[in-house]
Amino acid sequence: MATQKVSALEKFMAPPQNVGANDPKPQPIFAGFQKPSIDLDAVRDGRRAPLLYLDIPLDTVQTIANGNPVILPLSGNSFYIDQDTSIVGNAVVHFQDTNLQQSSAPIYVGPGFIAKVPFTQILVEVKTAQAGKILRIVYGTDVDFTAGLNATISVTDQAPVRFSSTTQQATVTIGATTLVAANASRKFAMIQNNGVIDIFVAVGVTATITNGIKVPSGGSLTFDAAVATNAFSAITSGGTNSNIVTLFG
């Protein structure tokens, strides 16, 4: 008996057939058509719950020590705190199982916190009152919470240091020369060697060739982020260098 051949297009257009739970799932007809990565069957039959959420006000202190923690009869194994910092604050959360002892580790949580941990009860402690803030708990079963496109990194720039000063010419010889006296409020220091002879700069002590920082011809020495407030002195290994420029502020 001849078997009628069904084209791929007809298969694609045909209505879905009812299959048993243990029957093999149909394979994709065309390359590139893949099975969804999320198990929708498990969602439909209740093995995976949809996303749920609950808002906990953070206006008043509620702790175990005060005898008034927030106890939530929530079940799941996926936990997330909404990352909207304009409304969401922070708290301490205990993931608990009602079938076991209630003791559990306290975990500090805030906006964007994600945990993959089973729980049948959650205990929340509000250590510090946060007026107008909430703890928005999003939870479910087998939900893959990951940082999304809205995840942000905050970078704080250091404010520029402002001071009033002028550049000065200095001459350094084979005898130690004080470039600048000690100054407890100093914010910046720079020494530039525009001469042809190397110099050696010491901080807080009289400069020698052995204890000084070598600033070669054409080089410079700068203190900005961390600035020594001691006196600066300098010396040459031989001869006189009259082309030293300093800036202290």
CATH at residue 121: 2.60.120
Q: Token pair 């953070």 is at which residue?
A: 58
Query: Which residues, in sequence order, are bridge partners of residue 203?
Result: 232
Residue-wise pLDDT tens digits, 2-52? 566 655 556 555 555 555 556 555 555 555 554 555 555 655 555 556 788
Give me the pLDDT at residue 59, please: 94
Asked whether residue 161 is assigned to any structural domain, the reply reads no
Q: How many domains does the chain have?
A: 2
Asked whether residue 33 is assigned to any structural domain, the reply reads no
Residue-wise pLDDT tens digits, 155-188? 555 566 777 888 899 999 999 989 988 999 888 8
C-alpha R_g of the chain:
35
Asked whether residue 44 is assigned to any structural domain, the reply reads no
Residue-wise pLDDT tens digits, 58-105? 999 999 999 999 999 888 888 999 988 999 999 999 998 877 666 678
187 with 134, same domain: the answer is no
Give me the pLDDT at residue 207, please: 93
Quote the tokens at residue 109: 């949580």
Asked whether residue 151 is assigned to any structural domain, the reply reads no
Give the structural domain span for 76.
52-140
Quote the tokens at residue 77: 């194994």
Asked whether residue 3 is assigned to any structural domain, the reply reads no
204 with 244, same domain: the answer is yes
Asked whether residue 97 is assigned to any structural domain, the reply reads yes
Give me the pLDDT at residue 186, please: 87
Asked whether residue 162 is assigned to any structural domain, the reply reads no
